Amino acid sequence: MTETAPWTTRKPTALLVLADGTVIEGHGVGATGKVTAEVCFNTALTGYEEILTDPSYLGQIVTFTFPHIGNIGTNDEDIEDLTPAARRGAVGVIFKADITEPSNYRSNRHLNDWLASRGIIGLSGVDTRALTAWIRENGAPNAVIAHDPNGVFDIEALKAEARAWGGLVGLDLAKEATSGQSSQWGETPWVWDEGYGELGPDDAKYHIVCVDYGVKRNILRLFAGLDCKVTVVPASTSAQDIMALSPDGVFLSNGPGDPAATGEYAVPVIRDIIKTETPTFGICLGHQMLGLALGATTEKMHQGHHGGNHPVKDHTTGKVEIVSMNHGFAVASGSLPADVEETHISLFDGTNCGLRLKGKPVFSVQHHPEASPGPQDSHYLFRRFLNMVRENKGEPALAER
C-alpha cells in the first residue's frame, strides 16, 4: 500500500491512519470523531450486526472482506452484547462499498443510523482486499479511525496517536465488557418465525453460573434451550460467591483483551472452581484463561482468526467442523501440561482450539459454537457440557448430536 491511498473519488470524510504512517482515505459512515484500536479483518459473509456487537471485538476495528455490508439493515433482535446501552463491541468498521438501503422484512433501522447510535466510527470506499493482504503480511496494526463530515483532519497528530497506542497486549478489557451486577437469563433460541422463547420457572432442570467476561447472548440462549437456568455474574466475582449460588456447572465466557491481563484476577478464581470438581466449560477468552489456570501460556497471534468459515478438527470424535472464530490471542499448544489434553485444532494453522483436564469435568474451546456457521456443527459442545452436569448428578447422558 502507498503512503496515501485515495481509493475514493469523493472528498475523504474519514481516515484510517496506521501506526506505520500509512493513511487510507474513505467516506465516513456511522459516528463522528476518532478512536484508537487494533485493525483486524473478518471473512464472514453474513452476520455483521452480531459481529459488531460481539464484546470480544472491544478495542478493535473490523474490516469486512465481504464487499456489501448493510443490505439487510439492522433490527433489535440480532445484537449479541448483554447490555446494549453500554455499546460493548467493535469501536470501528471498514467497508468496501457504500451502505445500501435495507431490504429485509426484519429491518427496522438503516445500518448507518445504527452505527451512529452505538458510537461506531466507520469508513467506506476502501480497497478492503488490499488492506486484508497488508494485515496478512504485516500483522494486525494499531491505528486511528477518524470521521469528520467536513473532511478536516490533523493527519500528523493522528499518526502520532496511532504510534503512541500500546495495543491490546497487557490490556484487561473484560472489566469494560462485563456486566455491572448479577442477573438471570431465561431467553431461549430463535424459532422461525416466532422469535425467541422463554424458559419457564418450572422448566429449569439445571443451574449454570456464567462468569461474564463479555458474554454473547446466543451462548446464554443455547443453555436456556437445554433447560438451564443461567445466573450471569461479573468477571470479578470470587469463587466463594460463585459456589454460594450452588451451580450445577460453571461457564467461563468469551470476552476481549489480553487473557494474561484479565487472568491476574480471573485465574485464581478458576483454579478454586476446578478444585470443587464442578463441571466447567470455557469459550474464547474463557478457554484461554482456563489454559492459564491449568498451567499453559497464551500468545498474541500475527493476525488472529476472525470469520465464519474456519475448519476445526475435534480429536475426540475425529470430525471436522466449520466454526466461527474471533480471537487475537491463543493458548500455546506446546505449553500444555501433561494432565491437559488438546482436543481441537485449527486446520488453517494448527493452533490450539480446545482442551480438557484429564479425569476432571473441565474443558474449553477457542471457537464460538453458538454462532452456527456450520450451521450447527458445534452445538454438540453444549450437550457435552450438559452431560458432565448430568453425570455429576447421577443422570444418564444425552446424545451429543
Question: Grid coordinates 484476577 are at which residue?
Answer: 265
Domains of the chain plus CATH, in order, are 4-164 (3.50.30.20), 174-392 (3.40.50.880)
Residues classed as catalytic: 284, 368, 370
Question: Grid coordinates 456450520 are at which residue?
Answer: 374
pLDDT of 2 reads 38
Low-confidence ranges of the chain (pLDDT < 70): 1-9, 84-87
Are 220 and 210 a contacting pair, CB within 8 Å? Answer: yes
Q: How far is C-alpha 137 from the geometric centre of its chain's CA atoms?
A: 23
Q: What's the CA dihedral at 260, 261, 262, 263 to 10 degrees? A: 40
pLDDT of 104 reads 95
pLDDT of 276 reads 98
pLDDT digits (tens, 9 = 90+) for 79-128: 999 876 556 799 999 999 999 999 999 999 999 999 999 999 999 999 99
pLDDT of 283 reads 98
pTM above 0.85, yes or no: yes
Set of cell numbers at residue 124: 467506506
pLDDT of 50 reads 96
Can you tell me the distance from the alpha carbon of 111 to that of 397, in angstroms, rounded to the nearest whole number? 44
Can you tell me the distance from the alpha carbon of 52 to that of 115, in angstroms, rounded to the nearest whole number? 9
pLDDT of 8 reads 45
Can you tell me the distance from the alpha carbon of 329 to that of 180, in angstroms, rounded to the nearest whole number? 25
Are 289 and 172 a contacting pair, CB within 8 Å? Answer: no
Q: What's the CA dihedral at 291, 293, 297, 299 to 10 degrees? A: 70
pLDDT of 1 reads 45
Strands (E), 315-400: 319-331, 340-346, 352-357, 362-365
pLDDT digits (tens, 9 = 90+) for 13-51: 999 999 999 999 999 999 999 999 999 999 999 999 999
